[in-house]
Amino acid sequence: AQSVTQLGSHVSVSEGALVLLRCNYSSSVPPYLFWYVQYPNQGLQLLLKYTTGATLVKGINGFEAEFKKSETSFHLTKPSAHMSDAAEYFCAAAGYSTLTFGKGTMLLVSP
Amino acid sequence: DTAVSQTPKYLVTQMGNDKSIKCEQNLGHDTMYWYKQDSKKFLKIMFSYNNKELIINETVPNRFSPKSPDKAHLNLHINSLELGDSAVYFCASSQGLAGGRSEQYFGPGTRLTVT
């Protein structure tokens, strides 16, 4: 079984600032890890995923995440926030059966 | 072309009614899912089907009955609707065996409101 914890239900940044969204997981098997983004009134869209191999994963829209096994973390970062990045972000972990989501972090971007 | 589509997008109904939500994917995927997103945005798997066969049933009340007529469609029928069923329901699909490890493609969601 796996569980996912996202620290902070809301994160506020200024446009151009660094974005850091935190995700920690627990899993009884080596997990696959995902970040999804949900724009208002839309479905979820995959940003990036970690399976095996390189621990720094690059995704769409300039986002990246680093898998740190020792810290059981998979934090999402972006060097410079855009207004269009404002959305709900979900971290998810998969063992061999289901995909388990964290409770989401709302990213707010101010001008 | 929409990859995963759901109908209807909005559904408002009264307690005790029976309703259905339809999902279709044109990605040629083998596996389809239903998720429930509650008012706090928490997403939880309900069901998973692989090639029309039920694989995952996550302790969902038996008022909820998924039906997969073919591998491109997964419908959700809900009997005797209750207030607590109000949520956004997402359909998703992925390639390969049922499970979380394949990238899942989500539909736009169906917002169900039970009054």
Handedness of CA B98, B104, B106, B110 (dihedral sign): positive
From chain B, pick out residues whose CB is under 8 angstroms from the CB of A93.
100
Mean pLDDT of the residues in chain B:
91
Phi and psi torsions of B17, nearest 5°:
-75, 165
Residue B83 DSSP one-character state: G
Q: Percentage of residues in chain B with pLDDT exceeding 70?
A: 96
What does the pLDDT look like over A27-82, one tens digit per residue?
A: 877 889 999 999 988 889 999 999 988 899 999 999 999 999 999 999 999 999 99
CB–CB contact A97 B99 (8 Å) = yes
pLDDT tens column, B37-64: 999 889 999 988 888 888 877 778 999 9
Chain segment B5-16, per-residue pLDDT in tens: 999 999 999 999
- Write the residue in A43, A90, A95 that is nearest to B100 by C-beta: A95
Question: What is the model's pLDDT at position A27?
Answer: 83
For tokens 């997103």, the residue is B37
**pLDDT, mean of residues B62-69:** 93
The pLDDT-based confidence of B97 (bands split at 50, 70, 90) is low
Q: How far is A52 from chain B (nearest CA, A)?
A: 11
Long-range CB pairs of A61-69, under 8 A, 24+ apart, other chains included: A61/A85, A63/A19, A63/A35, A65/A23, A65/A33, A65/A35, A67/A33
